[in-house]
C-alpha cells in the first residue's frame, strides 16, 4: 500500500528498516532476560497554532508517538534528557527545534516495556515553521502534524503536549526582561 501513511521506500531504506526491526526484536529479548533500567526522552514539537509533530516508526509499536528515544551512555554518565530529546528530533525528522525555549513538561516514572523498567522525560519546544518535516527513511514510516485537540497519542503523552503548549505560550507571553 502506498500513500501518505505508507510511502514508497527504496531498497536501501527498506534494508535499513528490516535491520532496525531485527535490532528491535533482539532488544526486546534482551530486556525480557536482563530487565535493565532504561532512560528515554520525547520532544513535543509544537507550532504557535497548536499543531504537534507525531511520528510512526518502521519498527516496534505501530501507533503514533512523539519523536524521541533512549539516552546515550557516555564514559561516566548518561546524556542529559533534554539533549536526548533534541538529538532524536534532529535524527528522526531532520528538524532543529527553536532551542531558546526547551522546557520540561513531564515524566513517567518507571513503567515496564518488554520487561525493562523505563523512565521517560518529556520536553517541549517550538517548531520552526520554515523547516519542512523530513522523516528519516528506514527509521520513520511517516511523520505529520496533528492539532492539540485531535492527537492520536496515549493519554500521558497528550497531557504532556497540552502542558508543553501552556508553558511555551506562557513563556512567549512573558518573555524574560533584562536586568538593569
CATH number of the domain within which 81 lies:
3.90.79.10
* 6 within domain boundaries: no
Distance, CA of 65 to CA of 141 (rounded, Å): 12
pLDDT, tens only, 88-134: 999 999 888 876 678 999 887 666 666 767 788 999 999 988 888 89
pLDDT, tens only, 24-70: 677 666 656 666 677 889 999 999 899 999 999 888 788 999 999 88
Q: How many separate domains does the chain show?
A: 1
Distance, CA of 166 to CA of 152 (rounded, Å): 19
Does the pLDDT of residue 176 top 50, yes or no?
no
Domain with 30, as residue range(s), is 11-172
Give the bridge partners for 144, in sequence order: 54
* 3 within domain boundaries: no
The predicted structure's pLDDT at residue 9: 56
pLDDT, tens only, 130-169: 888 899 888 888 999 999 999 999 898 999 999 999 999 8
Task: Specify the DSSP element, H or E, that contains 157.
Answer: helix 155-173
Q: How many CB atoms lie within 10 A of CB 61?
A: 11
- pTM for the full predicted model: 0.74
CA dist 98 → 6, 45, 105, 153 (Å): 29, 9, 16, 23
The predicted structure's pLDDT at residue 71: 84
* 86 within domain boundaries: yes
* 102 within domain boundaries: yes
* 5 within domain boundaries: no
The predicted structure's pLDDT at residue 178: 43
Amino acid at each position: 500500500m502506498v500513500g501518505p501513511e505508507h510511502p514508497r521506500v527504496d531498497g536501501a531504506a527498506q534494508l535499513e528498516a528490516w535491520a532496525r526491526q531485527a535490532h528491535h526484536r533482539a532488544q526486546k529479548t534482551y530486556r525480557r532476560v536482563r530487565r535493565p533500567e532504561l532512560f528515554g526522552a520525547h520532544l513535543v514539537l509544537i507550532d504557535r497554532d497548536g499543531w504537534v509533530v507525531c511520528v510512526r516508526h518502521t519498527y516496534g509499536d505501530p501507533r503514533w508517538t512523539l519523536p524521541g528515544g533512549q539516552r546515550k551512555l557516555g564514559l561516566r554518565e548518561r546524556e542529559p534528557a533534554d539533549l536526548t530529546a533534541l538529538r532524536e528530533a534532529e535524527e528522526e525528522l531532520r528538524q532543529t527545534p527553536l532551542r531558546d525555549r526547551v522546557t520540561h513538561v513531564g515524566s513517567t516514572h518507571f513503567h515496564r516495556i518488554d520487561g525493562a523498567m523505563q523512565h521517560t522525560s518529556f520536553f517541549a519546544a517550538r517548531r520552526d515553521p520554515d523547516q519542512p518535516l523530513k522523516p528519516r527513511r528506514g527509521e520513520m514510516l511517516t511523520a505529520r502534524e496533528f492539532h492539540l485537540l485531535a492527537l492520536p497519542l496515549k493519554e500521558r503523552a497528550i497531557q504532556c503536549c497540552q502542558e508543553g503548549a501552556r508553558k511555551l505560550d506562557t513563556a512567549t507571553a512573558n518573555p524574560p526582561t533584562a536586568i538593569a
